[in-house]
């Protein structure tokens, strides 16, 4: 079961090495299954597509994310 859902506001954990990109982002994709070899580079578990405020996006493993403390409730 995914920890996050669509439109959750998250950030990449400071201790994560999964991406150099930091800042506020939104969950825009959730991959519980591995639809292709691209996902082999991630550990087992849920992978998310996150979109940053500037419109750029990347895939990040669930363990590398946390809820943004400034998220809108």
30 touches 6 (CB < 8 A): yes
The larger pLDDT score, comparing residue 9 to residue 16, is at 9
The reported pLDDT for the residue numbered 20 is 67
For residue 19, what pLDDT is reported?
67
* Beta carbons within 10 angstroms of residue 64's beta carbon: 20
pLDDT at 46 > cutoff 80: yes
For residue 35, the enclosing domain spans 9-67
Q: What is the pLDDT of residue 10?
A: 96
| 25/27 Cα distance (integer angstroms) | 7
The CATH number for 14's domain is 2.30.30
- Identify whether 1 is part of a domain: no
CB neighbours of 2 closer than 8 A, spacing ≥ 6? 30, 32, 46, 48, 62
Residue 23: band (very low, low, confident or very high) from pLDDT cuts 50, 70, 90 = confident
For the chain, what is the domain count?
1
Using pLDDT thresholds of 50, 70 and 90, give the confidence band for residue 71: low
């Amino acid at each position: 079961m995914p920890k996050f859902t669509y439109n959750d506001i998250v950030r990449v954990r400071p201790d994560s090495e999964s991406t150099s990109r930091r800042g506020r982002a939104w969950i825009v994709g959730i991959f519980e299954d591995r639809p292709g070899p691209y996902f082999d580079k991630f550990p087992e578990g849920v992978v998310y597509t996150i979109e940053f405020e500037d419109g750029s996006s990347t895939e990040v493993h669930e363990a590398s994310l946390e809820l943004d403390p400034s998220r809108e409730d």
